Amino acid sequence: MNRIRGKVTDDDRNPLSGASVKVQNDTRVVNTDTAGEFEIACGPDDILVVSYIGYDEQQVAVRGRSFLEVTMIRQSNVLEDVVVVGYGTQKRTNVTGAVTSVNYSEQAASRPITTTAGALAGLSPGLAVQQPSGRPGSEGVLLRVRGVGTLNNSAPLVIVDGFETTIGNVNPDDIESMSILRDAASSAIYGNRAANGVILITTKSGASKPTVSFNSIVSLNNPQNYVDLVSNYADYMSLINESAENIDVALPFSQAMIDLWREKEKDPNGIADSGYPNYVAYPNTDWMDAFFNDEIYQRHALSVSGSSGGTSYLTSVSYIDNPGIMMNSGMKKVMLRANVSSKVNNWLEVGAKLWGYENSLQMNDLDNAFSFMTRGVPGIYPYYDGKYGWTENPEQSSNSRNNLYFADRVDGLDRTFYTNSTLFADVTLPYSLKYNVSLNYIRQNGGYKFNTRTLDAFSFRTGDWAYYYQDLEKLLLRVRNDNSRRWTAQSTLSWNRTFAQKHDISALLGFEALYANSDNSFVEKNGFLSDKLVELNTVSNMVAIEGSQTDFATQSFFGRMQYAYDNRYLLEMNLRYDGSSRFARQSRWGVFPSVSAGWRIDQESFMEGSKIDNLKLRGSWGKLGNHSIGNYDYQATYASGTAYSFGGAQAPGLIASLSNNLLEWETTTMSNIGVELGILNNRLSFETDFYNKVTDGILFRAPVYATVGVKSPPYQNIAEVTNKGMEFTLGWRDKIKDFSYGVSANFTRNYNQVSKYQGALKAGWVMDENGLRTYETNIGDVATVVGNERRTMEGKLINEYYLLNTYSGDQSYFFNDGSVNPNGGPQDGMIRTEDDMQWLQAMVDAGSIFLPNRNINKKGVWYGDYIYDDVNGDGVYGDPNDYTFQNVAMTPKYTYGFQLNMAWKGISLSTLWAGAGGHSVYYRFPGINAYSTRADLTIPQEIAYDHYFYDPLNPNDPRTNVTSQHGRLTMNYGSEQNGGSNYSNLWLYKANYLKLKNLTLGYTIPKRWIGQIGFQDVRLYVSGENLLTFTKFPGMDPEFTETLQFYSNLSQYSIGLNIKL
């Protein structure tokens, strides 16, 4: 018996690392190293069986040779692709859990990605993606796997190259592949952190020969959408006057001032007495247009990778410049990566993965500007001749403001330094054993320095300064520093053998330990010597100084066993035993098991000749954990405050939160049944999953009675949430000569319910001891208020809307006997006609009360006002007992995506659509879409030029409009009938949408043109992001939440270049 050597390559002559080389009918087997080379003892007449996932198996006769070169042929069957799973990989055919693979590198190659998470929209069933802002560094992308299953943090666990991090930290250009683990069986190996699903990210590694890649993209960014506000100041003043007239109060603006503005509008380029153009001195400003700017985004990435002498390497550097679309909101980011591994000998491989970034984010006062955005009336010019404008009309409220001025009155920079380093060793042991040990260390340092500065504002109408901000004592400086450190140690022992050619068995045992520590400090001072000296030692007065530190730790033992018989019957079991310092000692540890099985029906003999290429039935069950609470929430915490007796002396302090050392793990139990189908040579593929996900013992702070005092309530294991749903994926791909194409679609429907909380709602009429009927409800005891419009309660959706319903009658008004019909009022609930008003008066005369404004007059309930349902029938319309659950929440009930790809002779076209539906948003903000006005607030165009108006004393008024869906304008902000002190479904809007997320047209230059000058690939492309949105939602964006958010998501028009040398 001799030892022979050899090399295994793919059909492009690239070495294949990790290929299996086995002596046929023998137990002798080795794996190729990173250079694709192997050495094995065998006889001159033996046959070597060479296999590699994704390639056809090769049988090579030795025939006495001392060196063999084996070329592997890639399988055309897509089902043999590798899928990344927890702590390893599997053939797609053998996966028994619900796992979706995303080719993320393809997305990153041709899209102007501003957030790594945002680019996932529409790509995977069961994954909902929502981006509630376009502001650089604050996009706040929400990822939800199979709905919201907890009242705590619902974000999925993100694992990058084996270790936890946040998805926003990862350079999109470094990502090779991404797997979405959707069920408990595939996620249970991660135990305590996997209850909300897992996203596994694998970064790129070195190839066979040195390769240089350069990707560059430049895009024009502009706002995808914004709310249109009245920009004609004369119209604005007239509308404000109308709203005052409608409630019989003094008119804020004189007709002379309105006429003056209309006169100047006729000659915008004329010169005012102040020497400035009329359009500046007598402005008609569109503040949304003034706030947004078209800007140039750019991202450039350079990488060098290769393999030589048993060492593979990849280094990359990327630069992103995202200037934002609002002033001083830009972000610059530099990212570095180095992945290196070296085969020391035939049993030891060592390596390191080092990556990180520096992020610089401009600071401004946009948050404050957003809070007062509705005070930017059109009679203020934004900026001209190096000066910020101010209120030009002396009759205008002094509360109105130039928000650009305030946004620019601050300066500062928020910087973050992030490093992530991993050292690992892979040891090949006898008896098919492999041992891995890895140590990961993450350090993040960040902080900001923020200061206000002197700045004045100018009146272009008078030609003089109108507002001064020069008091150095009022200027403030804020400095904050945040530091975090986390180390994670992992070790795994794996084993993989095949017996009798049909029994494939593999096992994995592992241990993980994690420790995290973070601290922060904050200082605020005021009293500057000069606004040019912006350091702590040049500012005199201390306002605040704060600091804190926190830490936590976990330990985990885990294992997995897999068995496959003849590639037909598949079984997998996982078990994880987790301990967390966030719980008391007696309940610190939790056990999280899972089991899954699969049946590859297409491999059965009775399926021969069926023309079915793949048919697999799989099922799974598992239990997962969640410890997403504060690090010390099982203990009582203290805060500085009122002095109290402690140790025989007065000590400063106050109990801030109550303790509960009986806290236990929040657990999620999930069952899943799935079917996979492939026919017509797998050109047509279909996959569906049905799941039931129950999260029990949810950790939640339920309110406590006021008699407890001003303390945060303790966390308790008091709630249960159920999510049931179905997922579908359908795909077709084909190639006809030089033309190839593919289309795929995915759809997910999720049913959500709080199945256990503080008891069921009981409401109704009862007889008291005196025989009187009274209405009783326990909603205050069984429901928790979320905002003002939503509640968490058993039997309802998580945070379901709880609102008044607008009244709905049949417009019959009176019974035949002349008595008023309570159900005969206006059909849509608005008092529009004199018949409506006559009915309303009759109802009041009969004893009914219409809240909130009760009285029938201009300042109360009047023409153009909505009234509300009397749900409990007590004759009071719109009181607290008339609120009802709306069977809808902000979380979509269904999501879907659609992809189309085509290619012909180097020309490629791809498109990606994503949508969501079945959810709503409560959207009512004065100055944006409310009917109430104030003399310092904006007015939306939609309502300004189409709203109800009727004067019963002058029915022929040209402003008369009795058909509009929008109510009358009233200058009684805070006390209006149409939503000031109540919350109704009048302002609840469906937020269903379909978006064209991306459209890319590319051209790859033929290799015969570029190969002679050393290029492997050159690709040019144009791309558009967020090009179209189909929705009936009237706000900025249906993806935005209830928070007043003005920073639009971005529409991007890009050109890009990909080069590989």
Give residue-wise pLDDT tens across range 95-108.
898 999 888 888 88
Q: Would you say residue 636 has pLDDT above 90?
A: no
Q: Would you say residue 130 has pLDDT above 80?
A: yes
Q: Indicate if 103 and 200 belong to the same structural domain.
A: yes
Q: Is residue 384 included in any domain, yes or no? A: no
Q: Is residue 921 included in any domain, yes or no? A: no
pLDDT band at 706 (very low <50, low <70, confident <90, very high): low
Q: Is residue 138 included in any domain, yes or no? A: yes
Q: Indicate if 18 and 113 belong to the same structural domain.
A: no
pLDDT band at 78 (very low <50, low <70, confident <90, very high): very low
Average pLDDT across the chain, whole number: 91
pLDDT in tens, 959-1008: 999 999 999 999 998 889 998 889 999 999 999 999 999 999 999 998 88
Q: Would you say residue 17 has pLDDT above 90?
A: no
Rounded-to-integer distance, Cα 664 and Cα 657, Å:
18
pLDDT in tens, 514-524: 999 999 999 99
The distance from CA 492 to its chain's CA centroid, rounded to whole angstroms, is 33
Q: Indicate if 100 and 63 belong to the same structural domain.
A: no
Q: Is residue 752 included in any domain, yes or no? A: no
- The residue among 724, 733, 993, 910 whose CA lies nearest residue 126 is 724
Q: Would you say residue 600 has pLDDT above 60?
A: yes
Q: Is residue 32 included in any domain, yes or no? A: yes
690 DSSP β-pair partners: 673, 726
Q: Indicate if 65 and 112 belong to the same structural domain.
A: no
**DSSP class of 191:** G
381 DSSP β-pair partners: none
Which is more confidently placed, 421 or 307? 421
What pLDDT does residue 367 have?
Answer: 74
Sequence-separated (6 or more) residues with CB below 8 Å from residue 954: none
Report in angstroms the alpha-carbon separations of 46 from 2, 40, 41, 72, 498.
11, 11, 10, 19, 19
The single residue listed with the structure tokens 């719109």 is: 878
What pLDDT does residue 745 have?
Answer: 97
Residue 994 in contact with residue 1029, Cβ under 8 Å?
A: yes
End-to-end C-alpha distance for the chain, whole angstroms: 44
59 DSSP β-pair partners: 49
Q: Would you say residue 47 has pLDDT above 70?
A: yes
Q: Indicate if 108 and 184 belong to the same structural domain.
A: yes
SS (H, E, C) 442-477: EEEEEEEEEEECCCCEEECCCCEEEECCCCHHHCEE
Q: Would you say residue 643 has pLDDT above 90?
A: no
pLDDT in tens, 149-189: 888 888 999 999 999 999 988 988 899 889 999 999 899 89
Q: Where are the beta strands (DSSP E) in 918-1004?
A: 920-922, 988-990, 993-1004
Q: At what angle do helices 233-245 and 255-265 cross, to 10 degrees?
A: 160
Domain tally, the chain: 2
Average pLDDT over residues 774-802: 93
Q: Indicate if 87 and 15 belong to the same structural domain.
A: no
What pLDDT does residue 310 have?
Answer: 80
**Residue 202: CATH number of its domain:** 2.170.130.10
pLDDT in tens, 889-938: 999 999 999 999 999 999 999 999 999 999 999 999 999 999 999 999 99
pLDDT in tens, 462-477: 999 999 999 999 999 9
Please report which helix (H) or strand (E) contains residue 835, including its range. Answer: helix 834-845
The single residue listed with the structure tokens 């503005």 is: 261
Strands 142-145 and 127-130, by their bridges, are antiparallel
Q: Would you say residue 949 has pLDDT above 80?
A: yes
Residue 939 in contact with residue 236, Cβ under 8 Å?
A: yes
**DSSP class of 339:** E
Please give the full DSSP string across 687-753, using - where no structure is assigned: EEEEEEEEEEEEEEE----GGG-S-BPPEEEEEEEEEEEEEEEEEEEEEETTEEEEEEEEEEEEEEE
Average pLDDT over residues 691-704: 88
Can you say whether residue 846 is alpha, beta or left, with left for phi > 0 and alpha for psi between -120 and 50 degrees?
alpha
**Residue 27: CATH number of its domain:** 2.60.40.1120
Q: Indicate if 87 and 200 belong to the same structural domain.
A: yes
Q: Indicate if 86 and 188 belong to the same structural domain.
A: yes
The winner for highest mean pLDDT among 639-653, 873-887, 1033-1047 is 873-887
Residue 909 in contact with residue 927, Cβ under 8 Å?
A: no
Tell which of 58, 75, 92 closes a domain.
75
Q: Indicate if 43 and 28 belong to the same structural domain.
A: yes
The residue type found at 556 is: S
- The residue among 245, 287, 475 whose CA lies nearest residue 381 is 287
Six token digits for residue 519: 């601290």
Q: Is residue 111 included in any domain, yes or no? A: yes
pLDDT band at 805 (very low <50, low <70, confident <90, very high): very high
The b/e string for 926-944 (b: 16+ C-beta within 10 A; e otherwise) is bbbbbbbbbbbbbbbbebb
Q: Indicate if 110 and 201 belong to the same structural domain.
A: yes
Six token digits for residue 147: 């709905």
- For residue 111, the enclosing domain spans 79-206
What pLDDT does residue 723 have?
Answer: 95
Tell which of 56, 75, 94 closes a domain.
75
Percentage of the chain exceeding pLDDT 70: 96
The single residue listed with the structure tokens 């302002």 is: 987
Rounded-to-integer distance, Cα 519 and Cα 547, Å:
7
Residue 934 in contact with residue 970, Cβ under 8 Å?
A: no
Strands 993-1004 and 1017-1031, by their bridges, are antiparallel
Q: Would you say residue 10 has pLDDT above 70?
A: yes
Average pLDDT over residues 689-712: 83
Torsion over CA of 108, 112, 115 and 121, rounded to 10 degrees? -70
Rounded-to-integer distance, Cα 862 and Cα 137, Å:
47
3-state helix, strand, coil in the chain (%, to 5): 10, 50, 40
What pLDDT does residue 714 have?
Answer: 87
Rounded-to-integer distance, Cα 376 and Cα 404, Å:
9
Q: Indicate if 69 and 91 belong to the same structural domain.
A: no
Q: Is residue 57 included in any domain, yes or no? A: yes
Q: Is residue 59 included in any domain, yes or no? A: yes
Q: Indicate if 130 and 27 belong to the same structural domain.
A: no
